Amino acid sequence: MKTALITGISGQDGAYLAKFLLEKKYKIIGLDRRSSRSDSWRLNYLGINNKIILEYSDLTEISSMQRIFYKYNIDEVYNLAAQSFVASSFNTPISTCDVNALGVLRILEIIRNSKKKIKFYQASTSEMFGKVLKSSQNEITSFNPQSPYAISKIFGHYITQNYRKSYKIFACSGILFNHESPLRGEEFVTRKITVGLAKIINKEIDCLYLGNIDSKRDWGYAEDYVKAMWFMMQKKVANDYVIATNQSYSVKDFINEAVKYYGLEIFWKGKGLTQKAINKKNNKIIIKIDPKFYRPLEVNYLRGDARKAEKILKWKPKINFRKLVEIMSKADIKRHLKVENN
């Protein structure tokens, strides 16, 4: 039985990866930080909460992580912990870098000093490409970051490569494009939309306020993407891979696709900041732009080129954009009805 340490176990990817590795008969140690609202809702949602050993620690504190490495015979580390929200990184740039950049180095130092050969996976991101320099981005496309988040992740990416080359550690990075699911945090635009529309049809709110809805992303499904992490770790030689669907859609496309699951028909009026979505049935505005959701610097467009992963890892996403919107919309409608019926 292999033992995997997953940092960020309480997050979207941590939960799905834990579920996947449990199916592969791994023993899972989840690195969790203490929180006053720690209810492990994602692990409960997947029904795996009692199948994981949770250890309290923090990526900012090397000694507490060291204790976990001494306590367990760890084979694989999946470093998913991060301050992962781009918008917040403009408000908390220093702590974002402490966790997302130095946190990676702290774990790599523990692995470097360990007698055991421990494999390491780093959660890199398409945000590193930022204001893109090519129309689709792959492993050799230059980075052009636009946020403290992206810059902190570039440090994590390069230090992972550096430790691989300097110390022959099996250390790989997955450059994952946006991936979503019913377990995505509600501050991210996809879940904000699927939850917001559920509240509108339930008459809890009249209108949903968003930022730059012309922005385009390459959106995939999180359960597909965590599998790619494991594939990378099973290769003989460590390497970096872009994981993406190779398709790009705007936030507005996501809305247009989602509304039909809520029984809504909409039409759009205006441009840029004056754009609004109007409910055809009653002419009421249900989506408006609020400039407060714009970022100091925006990444307007991302589209991955995951041919390397397809060729070497034999990985391909199963869920496309339309199916993703359907899964997320239906899950939030169901959740919402449950709450209403209680």
Contact footprint for ligand GDP (CB under 6 A)? 86-87, 127, 178, 187-189, 192, 210-213, 215, 217, 251, 293, 295, 298-299
Cα–Cα distance for residue pair 231/61, rounded to 1 Å: 29
Minimum distance, C-beta of residue 1 to ligand NDP, in the bound complex (Å)? 24
Minimum distance, C-beta of residue 271 to ligand NDP, in the bound complex (Å)? 28
In the list ligand NDP, ligand GDP, none, the entry touching 29 (Cβ below 5 to 8 angstroms by class) is none
Q: Which residue has the tokens 């997320």?
A: 328
Binding site for ligand NDP (CB under 6 A): 7-8, 10-14, 33, 35, 58-60, 80-84, 99, 123, 125, 176, 178-179, 185
Cα–Cα distance for residue pair 219/243, rounded to 1 Å: 10
Contact 28, 4 (CB under 8 A): yes
Minimum distance, C-beta of residue 7 to ligand NDP, in the bound complex (Å)? 6
Strand partners, 171: 120
> Encoding tokens for residue 247?
């398709």
Cα–Cα distance for residue pair 290/273, rounded to 1 Å: 7
C-beta of 9 vs 266, nearer to ligand NDP: 9
- The secondary element (H helix, E strand) that includes residue 241 is strand 240-243
C-beta of 13 vs 332, nearer to ligand NDP: 13
Terminal alpha carbon distance of the chain: 42
Of 16, 78, 149, 163, the catalytic one is 149
Establish whether 125 is a catalytic residue.
yes
Minimum distance, C-beta of residue 87 to ligand GDP, in the bound complex (Å)? 6
In the list ligand NDP, ligand GDP, none, the entry touching 231 (Cβ below 5 to 8 angstroms by class) is none
Q: Provide CB contacts within 8 A for 49, sequence distance 6+.
A: 40, 43
In the list ligand NDP, ligand GDP, none, the entry touching 12 (Cβ below 5 to 8 angstroms by class) is ligand NDP
C-beta of 59 vs 333, nearer to ligand NDP: 59
> Encoding tokens for residue 13?
């990817």
In the list ligand NDP, ligand GDP, none, the entry touching 81 (Cβ below 5 to 8 angstroms by class) is ligand NDP
Nearest position to ligand NDP, beta carbon: 11
In the list ligand GDP, ligand NDP, none, the entry touching 298 (Cβ below 5 to 8 angstroms by class) is ligand GDP
Cα–Cα distance for residue pair 326/284, rounded to 1 Å: 24
Of 7, 125, 160, 190, the catalytic one is 125
Contact 126, 86 (CB under 8 A): no
Q: Strand, coil or helix: what is 144? A: coil
Establish whether 127 is a catalytic residue.
yes
Contact 49, 43 (CB under 8 A): yes
**Which residues are known to be catalytic?**
125, 127, 149
